[in-house]
């Protein structure tokens, strides 16, 4: 996948998996120039997502759910993914 397509694909997958009330995906790859992950061409991303789907999940479960939604992208396009995942009731 082309670098410029990655943020939109991350957002698409998260919307499909969690039907979020709010979502923000930021490509922070430029901040990691020279790091090992950047050298391989994989990206660094920050995700903030609020969804009722996270109700009853602890932070680890939420992160695992987000990683699962990313699927193969975690191996082919993403080197690092920073996640802020909140349940709707936590706002």
pLDDT at 18: 98
Instruction: Look up the pTM and report it.
Output: 0.90
Instruction: State the pLDDT at residue 52.
Output: 98
Residue 48 belongs to domain spanning: 3-90
Number of structural domains found in the chain? 1
**pLDDT digits over 20-74, tens only?**
999 999 999 877 666 655 566 789 999 999 999 999 999 999 999 999 999 999 9
Tell me what pLDDT residue 20 has.
98
CATH of residue 69: 3.30.300.90
Q: Which two tokens stand for residue 6?
A: 């990655």
The pLDDT value recorded for residue 30 is: 78
What per-residue string of b and e applies to 15-47 under the rule 16 or more CB within 10 Å gives b? eebbebeebebeeebeebeeeeebeeebbbbeb
């Amino acid at each position: 996948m082309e670098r410029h397509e990655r943020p939109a694909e991350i957002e698409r997958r998260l919307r499909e998996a969690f039907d979020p009330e709010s979502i923000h995906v930021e490509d922070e790859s430029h901040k990691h120039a020279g790091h090992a992950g950047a050298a391989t061409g994989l990206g660094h991303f920050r995700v903030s997502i609020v969804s009722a789907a996270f109700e009853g999940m602890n932070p680890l479960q939420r992160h695992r759910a987000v990683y699962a939604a990313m699927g193969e992208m975690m191996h082919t396009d993403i080197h690092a993914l920073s996640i802020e995942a909140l349940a709707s009731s936590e706002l």
